[in-house]
Amino acid sequence: MDQKITKILPEHDAPVCITGMHRSGTSTITQLLYRCGLYLGPEKMLFSAREDNPEGFWEHRGFVALNERILELYGAGWDLPPSLEPEWHLEGQLHDVREDARRLVDRFAGQGRWGWKDPRSSLTLPFWLDLLSELKVLVCLRNPLEVALSLRRRGNSSLAFSFNLWMIYYERLLSALPEDRFLVTHYDAYYLRPLRELRHVVDFLGLPASDQLIAHARSSSIKDLRHYSFTLTELREAGAPEYLVELYVSMCRRARWDAK
């Protein structure tokens, strides 16, 4: 086992990880934060838009590659989460990944508030929390039925498979997160109360964004690209297990969102 590696960063350089289940609004929310001043790295390092995500992914190639390497080392992938032992993130087989991650993080020194977005970080978060002692985490949340239908629309999975994957992502997140260093934000809030929600998130992250900048970010980023909008009743009628519904409702409370 490698010796624990912890990197202490100055407060003004404290990074943020934007994560949550795939198709939960992480791209939209990251774009908003980018326009509010969050540094994501050189533009050439961000994945380009595609037909299934026309507004862009806002993902840094380096962080995605590292997360994929971690998952592959455990015979897993984004849609096949690994079974991991406690303190797996300190294991010797991660030495090279750890060193590459430190070099990547060093490139962000002096950039002010910076961060990365990758839903895979929901599964690898202990690794990043160990590396970055001041890391803040923004957890993006969306109705599980909307997530499942969005994945199915892309040809990825059945409803049952997506519900199970949704559960794993958020259970892993909640088990790893320090209570005082994460915030849950609901995707729907950016359509129904965008300025208020964005101000709440920006203040949590410590971004020095004015109300004018927030309003501009909202007007230049938010487009109604949602294909689905469902209620709790419809989630249950779609066959979601009750324990999934209960977890979703509890996370909505954390997000200050009234799940209906």
Residues with Cβ within 8 Å of 9's Cβ and at least 6 positions away in sequence, in order, are 15, 132, 133, 134
The answer to whether the beta carbons of residues 136 and 14 sit under 8 Å apart is: yes
| Pairwise CA distance, residues 193 & 200, whole Å | 11
> pTM of the prediction?
0.91
Residue 66's identity, in one-letter code, is: L
What whole-number percentage of the chain has pLDDT above 90?
Answer: 80
Length of the chain: 260
Taking only the tens place, the pLDDT of each residue in 19-58 is 999 999 999 999 999 999 999 999 999 977 555 555 657 9
Region 140-155 average pLDDT: 92
Taking only the tens place, the pLDDT of each residue in 100-129 is 999 999 999 999 999 999 999 999 999 999
Is a pLDDT exceeding 80 seen at residue 9?
A: no
Q: What is the pLDDT of residue 8?
A: 43
The answer to whether the beta carbons of residues 35 and 215 sit under 8 Å apart is: no
Is a pLDDT exceeding 50 seen at residue 226?
A: yes
**Is 47 exposed, middle or buried (CB count within 10 Å of its CB: 0-12, 13-18, 19+)?**
middle
60, 95, 97 from 66: Cα distances, Å = 10, 12, 7
> Residue 3: pLDDT band by 50, 70, 90 thresholds?
very low
Domains of the chain, by residue range, sit at 11-254
Taking only the tens place, the pLDDT of each residue in 122-138 is 999 999 999 999 999 99
Q: What is the pLDDT of residue 2?
A: 46
User: 11-254 sits in which CATH class?
Assistant: alpha beta
* 3-state SS class at 134: coil
